[in-house]
C-alpha cells in the first residue's frame, strides 16, 4: 500500500473544509492483488447540494466477491473497480447533513458507497434503516438475507432435506447452515479450511457434521458425512467441492450457486463442474442467484432473524477490523480464510 496520504495542506481553523479518507485501486493486478495495488487517499468532502445528503460511514462490509472486482474480467456480478477511482461496497452510516426532505440529520442509512469515511450523493442511493433493530449498526450489513433467499428461493429448501454448505464458517455459509436447520433440514453438513473452524461449526453453530476440505478428496469426506446423499448444496466456492456435491447428490437435488471462492483464490482455476451426465441422470437443478432479485424477502427475513437472535437460536459471528487503512490487508486475509463469520471495517464510533 502507498503509505503516504495524498492530501492538501489544510489548516486547523474552523473554516477549513472537511476531509476524509477513501481507498483507491492503484493498478489492476495480474492474478491475486497485493497491498501495493491499493492506496489510501485523503480528500476534501463537499457539502451536499440540493437533493443530496452527507453521510459519515460507521461500518463497511468486506466481501470475498470484492476480489473479483479488483481483478476484473468477464461476467462480474457488479462493475469492476476502476484504477484511480474510489472503490465501493456496502456500508452503513449516519446522515450528518441533508439537502433533501426524504432524509434527516441523524438518520441511519445503508448504501453502496463504502471504502470511504464520508459519502456525499443523491438521497435516492441511501436507504433508511431502524437504528434500534440490532445491538450494533454493523448487523445491517450481514449476509443472512443472502443465505435465506439462496436456500428458500434458489435451492427450494424442503423439510427433511440433507444440506451441504461449503465455506460454512464464513459470513454467508454460517448463516446458510443455521437457517437450513431452523427451516427443517434433517441434516446439515459444512466444509471449512481448518480444524478450528470445523470444531466451530459443530460445536457452536449446530451443524450435524463438518470436515476440513484439506483432509483428502472432498468427495470422500462428503460421502462419510452424508452416507445417504445430499439434497441441497449451498455453493460458495465452486471447483472440487461443487464436483463432489454433484457426485454425492440425490436424484432431483438442488444447487444454489452463491459464490466462487475457488476462482478468486487461484490464478488458474481448477476446472468446471465435472461430468455433466450426472446432471442429466440425477435430474439436478443448478441455479445462480443474486440478492438484488429477491429484495422483496427483506422484511420477512428481518422479522425472523431478529426473532432468532432474541431467542438465541441463531449465532451471529462478526469480525471487526478497525480503520480504513487496515481494510486492504483485511480483504486479502478474508479471501485466504483468516476470519470467521461476517467481516466489517469500523470507520467511526
Would you say 89 and 141 are in contact if contact means Cβ atoms under 8 Å apart? no
Q: What pLDDT was estimated at residue 1? A: 47
pLDDT in tens, 219-273: 999 999 999 999 999 999 988 999 999 999 999 999 999 876 544 444 334 445 5
Give the pLDDT score at 235.
95
Pair (25, 160) in one structural domain: no
Q: Does residue 59 belong to any structural domain of this protein?
A: yes
Kindly state whether residue 297 falls inside one of the protein's structural domains.
no
Q: Which CATH number is 271's domain given?
A: 3.40.50.720
What per-residue confidence (pLDDT) applies to 9? 35
Count how many domains the chain has.
Answer: 2
Which residue numbers in the chain have pLDDT < 50? 1-13, 262-271
What is the reported pTM?
Answer: 0.85
Torsion of CA 52, 54, 55, 56, to 10 degrees: 170
pLDDT at 32: 85
Q: Which residues contact 329 (CB under 8 A, 6 or more apart)?
A: 1, 35
Residue 318 pairs in a beta bridge with 342
pLDDT value at position 92? 98
pLDDT at 264: 43
56 and 152: one domain?
no
Same domain, 148 and 105: no
Range of the domain at 333: 19-142+317-346
Residues 154 and 251 in one domain: yes
d(CA 106, CA 291): 28
Looking at residue 147, its pLDDT comes to: 96
Structure confidence at residue 290 (pLDDT)? 83
Same domain, 166 and 275: yes
The DSSP bridge pattern shows strands 108-111 and 127-128 to be antiparallel
Is residue 253 within 8 Å of 263, Cβ to Cβ?
Answer: no
Q: Would you mind telling me the total number of residues written for the chain in this entry? A: 349
Query: Do 182 and 122 share a structural domain?
Result: no
253, 122: one domain: no
Q: Would residue 40 count as lying in a domain? A: yes
Over the chain, what HEC string results? CECCCCCCCCCCCCCCCCEEEEEEECCCCCCCCCHHHEEEEEEECCCCCCCEEEEEEEEEEECCCHHHHHHCCCCCCCCCCCECCECCECEEEEEEEECCCCCCCCCEEEECECCECEEEEEHHHCEECCCCCCCCHHHHHCCHHHHHHHHHHHCCCCCCCEEEECCCCEHHHHHHHHHHHHCCCCEEEEEECCHHHHHHHHHCCCCCEEEECCCCCHHHHHHHHCCCCEEEEEECCCHHHHHHHHHHEEEEEEEEECCCHHHHHCCCCCCCCCCCHHHHHHCCEEEECCHHHHHHHHHHHHHHHHHHHHHCCCCCCEEEEECHHHHHHHHHHHHCCCCCEEEEEECCC
Question: Distance between CA atoms of 348 and 130, rounded to whole angstroms?
Answer: 18
pLDDT value for 3: 37
Amino acid at each position: 500500500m502507498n503509505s503516504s496520504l495524498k492530501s492538501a495542506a489544510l489548516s486547523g481553523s474552523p473554516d477549513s473544509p472537511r476531509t476524509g479518507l477513501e481507498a483507491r485501486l492503484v493498478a489492476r493486478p495480474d492474478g491475486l492483488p497485493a497491498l501495493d495495488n491499493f492506496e489510501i487517499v485523503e480528500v476534501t468532502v463537499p457539502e451536499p447540494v440540493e437533493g443530496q445528503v452527507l453521510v459519515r460511514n460507521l461500518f463497511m462490509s468486506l466481501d470475498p466477491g470484492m476480489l473479483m472486482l479488483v481483478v476484473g474480467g468477464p461476467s462480474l456480478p457488479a462493475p469492476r473497480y476502476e484504477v484511480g477511482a474510489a472503490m465501493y461496497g456496502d456500508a452503513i452510516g449516519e446522515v450528518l447533513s441533508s439537502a433533501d426532505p426524504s432524509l434527516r440529520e441523524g438518520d441511519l442509512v445503508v448504501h453502496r458507497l463504502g471504502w470511504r469515511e464520508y459519502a456525499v450523493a443523491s438521497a435516492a442511493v441511501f436507504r433508511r434503516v431502524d437504528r434500534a433493530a440490532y445491538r450494533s449498526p454493523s448487523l445491517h450489513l450481514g449476509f443472512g438475507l443472502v443465505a435465506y433467499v439462496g436456500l428458500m428461493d434458489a435451492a427450494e429448501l424442503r423439510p427433511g432435506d440433507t444440506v451441504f454448505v461449503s465455506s460454512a464458517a464464513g459470513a454467508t455459509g454460517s448463516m446458510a447452515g443455521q437457517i437450513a436447520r431452523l427451516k427443517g433440514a434433517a441434516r446439515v453438513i459444512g466444509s471449512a479450511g481448518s480444524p478450528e473452524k470445523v470444531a466451530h461449526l459443530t460445536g457452536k453453530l449446530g451443524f450435524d457434521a463438518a470436515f476440513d476440505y484439506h483432509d483428502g478428496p472432498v468427495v470422500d469426506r462428503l460421502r462419510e458425512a452424508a452416507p445417504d446423499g445430499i439434497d441441497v448444496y449451498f455453493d460458495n466456492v465452486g471447483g472440487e467441492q461443487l464436483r463432489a456435491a454433484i457426485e454425492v447428490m440425490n436424484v432431483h437435488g438442488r444447487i444454489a450457486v452463491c459464490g466462487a471462492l475457488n476462482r478468486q483464490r487461484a490464478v488458474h482455476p481448477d476446472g468446471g463442474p465435472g461430468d455433466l451426465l450426472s446432471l442429466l441422470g440425477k435430474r439436478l437443478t443448478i441455479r445462480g442467484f443474486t440478492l438484488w432479485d429477491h429484495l422483496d424477502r427483506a422484511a420477512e427475513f428481518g422479522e425472523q432473524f431478529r426473532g432468532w437472535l432474541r431467542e438465541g437460536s441463531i449465532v451471529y459471528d462478526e469480525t471487526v477490523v478497525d480503520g480504513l487503512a487496515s481494510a486492504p490487508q483485511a480483504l486479502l486475509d478474508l479471501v485466504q480464510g483468516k476470519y470467521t463469520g461476517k467481516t466489517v471495517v469500523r470507520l467511526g464510533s
